[in-house]
Amino acid sequence: MSRSINTAFIERYNGTDRNRNARKVRKTYCFSKDREVHESMTYFTLYSYNFCWPVRTLGEPARPGERGRRPRSLAMAAGLADHVWSLVEWVSFPVIPRV
C-alpha cells in the first residue's frame, strides 16, 4: 500500500466523484450552469460518499461468532463516525444544533 500521493488514487477518486455526481459530466441534461447548485451537489455527494457508503476493502474482521466482515465507511476509518449512516439518517441530521 502506497502512503504517498499517487496519480492513480487521485484519478480513481475523480472517477468516483463523476460517477456519483452527474453534474460534473459534460454533455448531459444534468450539467451544472449555476455555481451554487454545483457546489451544493458536490458537498452532498462528497459527504454522503464518506459517511453512507461502506467500502469493501476497509471492512473489519468479524467478531467471534459472526460471519464475514463488518462494513466500514471512510468516515469510520478516519474516526469521524461509529457506524455506516443511512442516507435518511444523514440528510435528517441537523446542521446547526438545536438550542
Q: Kindly state the DSSP code that residue 82 receives in the 8-state scheme.
A: S
The grid cell for 1 is 500500500
Which residues have a Cβ under 8 Å from the Cβ of 84 and sit 6 or more positions away? 51, 52, 53, 54, 71, 72, 73, 76
pTM exceeds cut of 0.85: no
Distances (CA, A) of 34 to 13, 20, 69, 71, 82: 23, 18, 42, 36, 35
Categorize the per-residue pLDDT at 26 as very low, low, confident or very high, splitting at 50, 70 and 90: low
Q: How far apart are CA 3 and CA 86, in angstroms?
A: 30
Taken as a whole, the chain contains a residue count of: 99
pLDDT at 83: 92
CA-wise closest residue to 38 among 54, 58, 55, 17: 17
- pLDDT tens-digit profile of 40-69? 888 888 888 889 889 888 888 877 887 778
